[in-house]
């Protein structure tokens, strides 16, 4: 187990290193960061001054070392627009994003799990086809469009829900639904396939051979086993939700991390954009790491593998 | 037991009732294919089909509703936007942008990913290690956020978007193709080719590539939907195709301004176009996956 | 006596006239989802099992043994259909029963042990929970009582320290132990008939022998009838009274083990027997016959063994031989089998030994 964990920690650190390299590389290769900072038409002297101020005139590896040093100290630079550290901005927005993600996750599980089970139990029949159609729609509708249509319907025509902002639980409903919609489809698909696999297992066959009522077979012997991969995915997806909420948060003006990213883009606030991407990637690497460890704790076979 | 491939152990089947028919994967999905084909044709002949110039409006004809609503006219069948531009014409030219971006981005991702996947799976060793580590890291990045980040630093243009989406989404190809190559490596003919002294490059090109091309096509069809949504999202956020070009995502972003006063046509029509195209690509991709490559089901 | 009191104080039911289980011309087919392909997994099978007796069913994989077992308990995959025949169990036709009635047969009156002990226990529930489950469901007893009986059952299948074992999970046990637990689940409601589908294939040799002797003990104690599905003729020689040989979904030969072994009436049985060098060699598998079994969805009108049969002649390829009886209590499907008794008289003599 210790060997397994140290190996995973190694992979995790390597991934983080590659992540920082990738981002650093793209920033330096694809353009001059200084050009992003100045107004169009700035004089070469101004640009040179900025180069010097940010250390852009030094060799690449020195720049990278500096970049890494600051990163390790939790320093992601200062926002051009807000003039506050990016880390601080990020942390003040994070709770909003988490609330939105948790509620959206609730929606997606509430829809995804029952419909997935129904589709698996009725495989090949009407509910299965209906579920497949639903899943395809979920994967095919852009979440921001779902959000816009909901605003049109519930805010403009019916006047039931506020169209943007935060503050009351009412503000949460539409963004959470728009965000959860895509994930509901994903969770439905996984629940269905996982349930089908469990229903085909020998222990479910034995449960039927015992003469248990079909409802008990599904509720006791299949449900619990089928849910394990779904809940694992849900854990990972929660973190992904925080990071893909950018469009939904933009549509509904929800003050989360996605909105921060959008503001960063609009104001050409480069440190904010870079910081959000780095932290998002790091969060996902960490979550994958934790899931690996968790799996190893649950399933002894994985530990032995390597 | 010899059990036919499609059986799954499930609740008992009591005496005969009619067999379930998978109506939507039993045979070729004709409607989605027709939709994609017609979008492609519209994109191709946009110049002849569009009644107006998509980028020029008349300020006297702003926010006209579709022709069937009060105030609408048949001059602008689907209404006009905030600059008085014809929505229908913009949708028609928007199809061209979506098609071009979708097709080329998938091609870029496909070529990069397939190449790296073949190299990784066939050469193995440290090449494999490096490529797979890179793939894992890349996969860890939230794809959309990463694309936004890249688009924000390179600046908006249609061809930039093609390249950005290509290098954001190649990882899925690399993973799948590598797996396919690994399973091929155990097959006899590759071994025979090695014994026969074929060059590595030749083996990859002549023996491996033709065998993974099916998977690449299936993946490409499925990726088309993902890429089109990504393009719309980037354009919607203002880092995609720059105005005044009529990208569907951009139209949605513009339409947001009229949303609160009920100018629904600016939001509904582009969304329906995106949905039709993505849904068709997904249905077609699902069908292809089942037909061409049953092993890809886990995707 | 190692058994719990409530386990042994049962009386064997007064023997009804006729066998405990009788399959009459049972056919089970798989139909592909578009109805274009029909696989005759079990075709026109007639068999009988008397109370307390052991019937061995042998055949290559794909010969329909497992489908036959699942047909009896009616837990077939959705593509399968019982197309014709009757399954008479204690005088009732199981095919006529409703799903709810059938549930009271499964586990309670007919139990089954599956092939793979590693996979047939649910990893998320304790052993006690899984052993006690059928007792609770079928006999409506309280949880405490059911668990008490579960402990006794574990004792009965010779699992050491059952008190602690009941609270453990399947992954904490060895394969042999898990298969014993599956056996304990099988006998938990004191069924009349136990179907064991290759219960020892995944166990190693010593454990295999122990498990077989355990099954025999249980059979004696409970007056169980046993259907033993295997492809191992050595096990049949040790365990069984009656033998049925299946080939391509049909029973090609059946009868008392000693008679079939000494005077096989069907060339397939002969080939099977000659593929075993010594009868005592327990681990011999049926692999030494040339050729492949036929595709069950494309059976010809003739005998399905004709293509591999060294004695086949013209008639074999155009006309399938009917079931005849080459001796008392025996059947065979071969033109060359000495037909001393016609099928009509078969019922009168069948099952005596």
Q: What is the pLDDT of residue B251?
A: 86
Mean pLDDT value across residues C185-204: 84
Which residues have a Cβ under 8 Å from the Cβ of A45 and sit 6 or more positions away?
Answer: none
Q: What is the pLDDT of residue B105?
A: 93
Q: What is the pLDDT of residue A123?
A: 78
3-state secondary structure of C59: coil
Which segments of B238-264 does DSSP mark as H helices, in order? 248-259
Nearest CA in chain C to B27: C34
Closest by CA to B241, choosing from B46, B51, B95, is B95
Q: Is A168 exposed, middle or buried (0-12, 13-18, 19+ CB in 10 A)?
A: exposed
How many interchain CB pairs under 8 A, A with B? Answer: 159
* Main-chain phi, psi angles of C29, to 5 degrees: -120, 145
Distance (Å, rounded) from C-alpha B119 to C-alpha C181? 50
Q: Cβ contact (<8 Å) for A211 and C108?
A: yes
CB C335 within 8 A of CB C270: no
- Chain C partners of B19 at a C-beta cutoff of 8 Å? 31-35, 79
List residues bridging with C81 in a β-sheet: C29
Nearest CA-CA distance, residue A48 and chain B, Å: 19
Confidence band for A305, pLDDT divided at 50, 70 and 90: very low
CB B222 within 8 A of CB B237: no
B 4-33 near A (Cβ less than 8 A): 8-12, 20, 22-24
Residues A70-118: pLDDT tens digits?
Answer: 888 888 888 878 888 889 899 999 999 999 999 999 999 999 999 999 8
**Which residue among B141, B264, B278 places its CB closest to the CB of A281?**
B141
Distance (Å, rounded) from C-alpha C337 to C-alpha C305? 14
Rounded (10°) CA dihedral B57, B58, B60, B63: -10
Position B6 pLDDT exceeds 50: no
Position B15 pLDDT exceeds 70: no
* Main-chain phi, psi angles of C252, to 5 degrees: -90, -25
Position C2 pLDDT exceeds 70: no
Q: For chain B, list residues whose CB is within 8 angstroms of any CB belonging to chain C.
A: 1-4, 6-16, 19-22, 26
In this prediction the ipTM stands at 0.80
Q: Is A82 exposed, middle or buried (0-12, 13-18, 19+ CB in 10 A)?
A: middle
DSSP letter assigned to residue C226 = E
Judge whether C294 is closer than 8 Å to chain B, CB to CB.
no
3-state secondary structure of C154: helix
Mean pLDDT value across residues B179-199: 64
Residues A191-244: pLDDT tens digits?
Answer: 988 888 888 888 888 888 888 888 888 888 888 888 888 887 888 888 888 888
Q: Is A270 exposed, middle or buried (0-12, 13-18, 19+ CB in 10 A)?
A: buried
CA separation, residue A268 to residues A304, B155, C132, C182, C270 (Å):
49, 11, 67, 67, 86
Q: Cβ contact (<8 Å) for B10 and C78?
A: yes
Q: What is the pLDDT of residue C345?
A: 46
Tell me if the pTM is above 0.80. no
Q: Cβ contact (<8 Å) for C77 and B7?
A: yes
- Chain A partners of B8 at a C-beta cutoff of 8 Å? 123, 196, 199-200
Q: What is the pLDDT of residue A78?
A: 81
- Chain B partners of A280 at a C-beta cutoff of 8 Å? 141-142, 145
* Main-chain phi, psi angles of C56, to 5 degrees: -95, 135
Q: Which of B240 and C278 is assigned the larger pLDDT? A: B240
Closest by CA to A112, choosing from A196, A180, A185, is A185
3-state secondary structure of B26: coil
- Chain A partners of C201 at a C-beta cutoff of 8 Å? none
Distance (Å, rounded) from C-alpha A149 to C-alpha A143? 10
Alpha carbons within 13 A on the beta-carbon side of C9: 3
Distance (Å, rounded) from C-alpha C135 to C-alpha C107? 9
Angle between the N-to-C axes of helices B158-185 and B143-154, in degrees from 0 to 180, rounded to the nearest 10: 140
Closest by CA to B297, choosing from B25, B23, B19, is B25
Nearest CA-CA distance, residue A239 and chain B, Å: 10
Q: Which of A159 and C187 is assigned the larger pLDDT? A: C187
């Amino acid at each position: 187990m210790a060997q397994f964990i140290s190996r995973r920690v190694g992979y995790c650190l390597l991934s983080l290193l590659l992540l920082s390299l990738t981002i650093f590389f793209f920033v330096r290769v694809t353009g001059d960061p200084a050009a992003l900072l100045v107004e169009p038409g700035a004089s070469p002297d101004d640009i040179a001054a900025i180069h010097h101020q940010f250390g852009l005139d030094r060799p690449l590896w020195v720049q990278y070392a500096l970049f890494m040093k600051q990163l390790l100290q939790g320093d992601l630079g200062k926002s051009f627009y807000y003039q506050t550290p990016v880390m601080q901005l990020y942390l003040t927005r994070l709770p909003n994003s988490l609330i939105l993600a948790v509620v959206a996750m609730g929606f997606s599980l509430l829809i995804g799990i029952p419909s997935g089970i129904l589709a698996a139990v009725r495989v090949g029949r009407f509910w299965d086809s209906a579920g497949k159609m639903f899943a395809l729609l979920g994967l095919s509708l852009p979440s921001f469009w779902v959000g816009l249509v909901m605003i049109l319907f519930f805010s403009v025509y019916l006047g039931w829900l506020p169209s943007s902002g935060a503050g009351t639980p009412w503000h949460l409903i539409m963004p959470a639904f728009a965000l959860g919609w895509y994930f509901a489809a994903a969770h439905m698909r996984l629940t269905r396939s996982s349930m089908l696999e469990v229903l085909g297992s020998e222990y479910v066959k034995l449960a039927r051979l015992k003469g248990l009522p079909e409802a008990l077979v599904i509720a006791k012997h299949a449900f619990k086993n089928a849910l394990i991969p779904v809940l694992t995915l849900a854990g990972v997806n929660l973190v992904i939700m925080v990071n893909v909420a950018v469009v939904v948060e933009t549509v509904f003006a929800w003050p989360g991390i996605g909105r921060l990213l959008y503001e960063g883009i609009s104001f050409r606030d480069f440190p904010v954009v870079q910081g959000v991407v780095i932290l998002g990637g790091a969060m996902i690497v960490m979550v994958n790491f934790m899931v690996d460890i968790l799996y190893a704790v649950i399933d002894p076979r994985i530990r032995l593998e390597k | 037991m010899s059990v036919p491939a499609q059986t799954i152990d499930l609740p008992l089947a009591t005496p005969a009732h009619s067999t379930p028919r998978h109506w939507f994967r039993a045979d070729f999905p004709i409607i989605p294919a027709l939709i994609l084909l017609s979008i492609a044709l519209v994109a191709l002949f946009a110049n002849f089909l569009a009644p107006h110039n998509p980028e020029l409006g008349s300020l006297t004809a702003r926010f006209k509703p579709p022709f069937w609503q009060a105030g609408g006219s048949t001059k602008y069948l689907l209404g006009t936007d905030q600059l008085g531009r014809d929505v229908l014409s913009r949708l028609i030219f928007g199809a061209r942008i979506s098609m071009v971006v979708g097709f080329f981005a998938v091609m870029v991702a496909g070529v990069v990913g397939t190449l790296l996947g073949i190299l990784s799976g066939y050469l193995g060793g440290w090449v494999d290690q490096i490529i797979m580590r890179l793939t894992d890291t890349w996969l860890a990045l939230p794809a959309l956020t990463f694309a936004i980040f890249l688009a924000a630093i390179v600046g908006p243009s249609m061809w930039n978007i093609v390249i950005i989406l290509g290098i954001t989404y190649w990882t899925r190809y690399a993973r799948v193709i590598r797996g396919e190559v690994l399973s091929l490596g155990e097959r006899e003919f590759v071994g025979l080719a090695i014994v026969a002294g074929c060059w590595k490059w030749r083996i990859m090109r002549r023996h491996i590539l033709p065998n993974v091309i099916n998977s690449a096509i299936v993946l490409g069809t499925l990726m088309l939907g993902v890429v089109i949504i990504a393009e719309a999202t980037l354009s919607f956020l203002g880092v995609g195709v720059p105005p005044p070009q009529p990208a569907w995502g951009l139209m949605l972003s513009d339409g947001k301004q009229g949303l609160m006063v009920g100018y629904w046509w600016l939001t509904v029509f582009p969304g329906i176009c995106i949905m039709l195209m993505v849904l068709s690509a997904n249905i077609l991709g699902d069908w292809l996956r089942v037909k061409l490559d049953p092993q890809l089901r886990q995707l | 006596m190692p058994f719990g009191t409530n386990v042994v104080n049962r009386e064997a039911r007064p023997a009804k006239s006729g066998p405990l289980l009788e399959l009459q011309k049972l056919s089970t087919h798989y139909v592909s989802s578009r109805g274009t392909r029909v696989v005759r997994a079990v075709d026109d099978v007639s068999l009988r099992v008397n109370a307390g007796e052991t019937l061995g069913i042998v055949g290559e994989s794909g010969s329909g043994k497992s489908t036959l077992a699942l047909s009896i308990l009616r837990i077939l995959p959705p593509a399968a259909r019982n197309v014709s025949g009757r399954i008479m169990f204690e005088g009732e036709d199981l095919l006529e029963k409703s799903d709810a009635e059938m549930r009271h047969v499964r586990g309670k009156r007919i139990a089954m042990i599956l092939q793979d002990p590693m996979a047939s226990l649910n990893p998320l529930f304790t052993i006690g929970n899984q052993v006690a489950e059928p007792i609770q469901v079928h006999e409506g007893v309280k949880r405490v009582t059911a668990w008490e009986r579960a402990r006794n059952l574990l004792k009965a299948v010779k699992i050491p320290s059952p008190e602690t074992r009941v609270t453990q999970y399947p992954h904490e046990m060895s394969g042999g132990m898990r298969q014993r637990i599956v056996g304990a689940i099988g006998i938990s409601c004191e069924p009349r008939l136990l179907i064991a589908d290759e219960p020892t294939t995944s166990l190693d040799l010593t454990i295999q022998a122990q498990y077989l002797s355990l099954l025999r003990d249980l059979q004696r104690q409970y007056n169980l009838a046993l259907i033993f599905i295997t492809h191992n003729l050595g096990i049949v020689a040790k365990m069984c009274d009656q033998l049925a040989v299946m080939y391509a979904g049909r029973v090609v030969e059946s009868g008392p083990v000693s008679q079939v072994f000494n005077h096989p009436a069907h060339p397939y049985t002969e080939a099977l027997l000659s593929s075993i060098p010594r009868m005592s060699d327990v681990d011999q598998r049926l692999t030494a016959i040339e050729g492949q079994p036929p595709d069950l969805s494309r059976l010809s009108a003739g005998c399905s063994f004709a293509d591999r049969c060294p004695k086949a002649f013209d008639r074999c390829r155009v006309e399938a031989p009917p079931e005849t009886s080459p001796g008392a209590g025996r059947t065979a499907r071969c033109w060359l089998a000495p037909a001393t008794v016609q099928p009509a008289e078969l019922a009168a003599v069948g099952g005596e030994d």
